[in-house]
Amino acid sequence: MFYSTHILPPLWRAVLHLNPFFYMIDGFRYGFFGLSDVNPLVSLGIVAGFLAALALIAERLQAASLNIK
């Protein structure tokens, strides 16, 4: 994931794009080197979406745990 995805076969490149950590690492690569495999705004949007989803899940789990006596 620290190298460009262009060296991977198309199947593994598609599988790698399903991993949200790919987008975080790609954002760091863009910040450090100015190189990116995908649009940095797309990476930011996907990472923000996963953050929002995880925050919602955490909030619901916390609310459910408060109902346990």
pLDDT tens digits along 13-45: 899 889 999 999 999 989 998 888 899 999 999
Angle (nearest 5°) at CA 40 between 36 and 43: 105
Q: Which of 33, 2, 35, 1 is nearest to 17 (CA)?
A: 1
Surface-to-core class of residue 10, CB atoms within 10 Å of its CB (0-12 exposed, 13-18 middle, 19+ buried): exposed
pTM over 0.85: no
Domain map (residue ranges) of the chain: 5-66
Inter-residue contact 26 to 36 (CB < 8 Å)? yes
Query: How confident is residue 6, by pLDDT bands cut at 50, 70 and 90?
Result: confident
